[in-house]
């Protein structure tokens, strides 16, 4: 795992967008794992701007999102399908047939979960998985005590997640209590993982995920096992880390990062 600290949220998002763009240009038919949430909105805007101004081409790209709420249709304005269409898919030249999310309205969510894992495998696996982190330390909706070898499945949402995401709904009582989510094992199979976190409210959980023990109580800590994982944070989200001088040295001196400076 590498941790990269940028001065603010904008520069952190810019760096992640440039990494995604570089990989997409190198492999136009890449399989890209995507995430939702407020942190990702500005990142997707940067990618949309790169598409318009720099001709960043999504036409051959295939995508798989981390999760979807159980009980919400694709047309529901609170669904993650709607979110992705609104913030990215319908604003770039991606083929919507190549964009995949779990079906929140599936009659058999367990069967849908198995189908989703099989679809990722059939696509050749995920080349780059974009991740955020929830306040419980979850990746996707892998709440505390999620098995670190778990596959895509249905998860009950924690009270903390319900409190965090509920205000995003027009009526918080309409927020589902369950979601279909990629499992930690599924996520760790991606060839590269990038986690983006910004803001002081993420500082404590970022410190646990990066510098704490690997534990099912903080599912993001499993990324410490991944052979190619980069965590990009702003100064606020990095404020509770202990090895910040080392993380800054990596970005300033390692050849891999020189081209992004």
Please give the residue range of the domain that contains residue 43.
Answer: 2-258
- Mean pLDDT across 119-142: 97
What torsion, rounded to 10 degrees, do the Cα atoms 109, 178, 40, 56 define? 10
Q: Which of 70-79, 80-89, 168-177, 238-247 has the lowest mean pLDDT?
A: 168-177
Neighbours of 51 (CB within 10 A): 18
Mean pLDDT score, 133-151: 96
The dihedral sign for the CA sequence 230, 150, 145, 178? positive
pLDDT in tens, 147-190: 999 999 999 999 999 998 998 898 888 999 999 999 999 999 99
Please tell me the distance from the alpha carbon of residue 46 to that of residue 150, in angstroms, as a whole number. Answer: 32
With a cut of 90, say whether residue 62 has pLDDT above it.
yes
Its pTM stands at: 0.96
More confident position, 167 or 71: 71
**Strands 31-34 and 62-65, how do they pair?**
parallel
Residue 139 confidence (pLDDT) = 97
Summarize the confidence of residues 85-103 as an average pLDDT: 98
- The sign of the CA dihedral 64, 69, 73, 78 is negative
List b or e across 23-34, with b for residues whose CB sees 16 or more CB atoms inside 10 angstroms.
Answer: bbeeeeebbbbb
Mean of the per-residue pLDDT values of the chain? 97
Answer yes or no: is pLDDT of 261 > 90.
no
Using CA atoms, how far apart are residues 131 and 13, in angstroms rounded to an integer?
Answer: 12
| SS3 label, residue 131 | strand
Predicted confidence at residue 170, as pLDDT, reads: 86
pLDDT, tens digit, for every residue of 205-221? 999 999 999 999 999 99
Read off the CATH number of the domain in which 120 is found. Answer: 3.40.50.1360
The number of folded domains in the chain is 1
Percent of the chain with pLDDT strictly greater than 70: 100
Mean pLDDT of 236-244: 98
What percent of the chain has a predicted confidence (pLDDT) above 90? 96
């Amino acid at each position: 795992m590498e941790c990269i600290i940028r001065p603010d949220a904008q520069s952190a998002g810019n760096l992640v967008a440039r990494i995604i763009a570089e990989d997409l240009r190198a492999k136009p038919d890449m399989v890209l794992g995507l995430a939702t949430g407020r942190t990702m909105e500005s990142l997707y805007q940067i990618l949309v701007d790169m598409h318009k101004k720099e001709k960043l081409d999504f036409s051959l790209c295939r995508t798989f999102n981390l999760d979807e709420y159980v009980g919400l249709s694709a047309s529901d304005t609170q669904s993650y399908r709607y979110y992705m269409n609104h913030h990215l898919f319908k604003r770039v030249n991606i083929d919507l047939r190549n964009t995949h999310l779990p079906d929140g309205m599936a009659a058999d969510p367990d069967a849908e979960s198995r189908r989703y894992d099989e679809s990722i495998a059939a696509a050749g696996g995920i080349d780059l998985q974009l991740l955020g982190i929830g306040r419980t330390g979850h990746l996707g909706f892998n709440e505390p005590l999620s098995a670190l070898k778990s596959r895509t499945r249905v998860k009950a949402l924690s009270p903390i997640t319900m409190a965090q995401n509920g205000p995003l709904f027009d009526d918080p009582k309409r927020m589902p209590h369950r979601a279909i989510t990629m499992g930690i094992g599924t996520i760790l199979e991606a060839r590269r993982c990038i986690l983006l976190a910004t803001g002081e409210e993420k500082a404590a959980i970022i410190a646990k995920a990066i510098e704490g023990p690997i534990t099912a109580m903080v599912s993001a800590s499993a990324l410490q096992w991944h052979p190619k994982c980069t965590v990009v944070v702003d100064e606020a989200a990095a404020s509770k880390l202990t090895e910040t001088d080392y993380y800054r040295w990596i970005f300033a001196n390692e050849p891999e990062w020189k081209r992004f400076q």
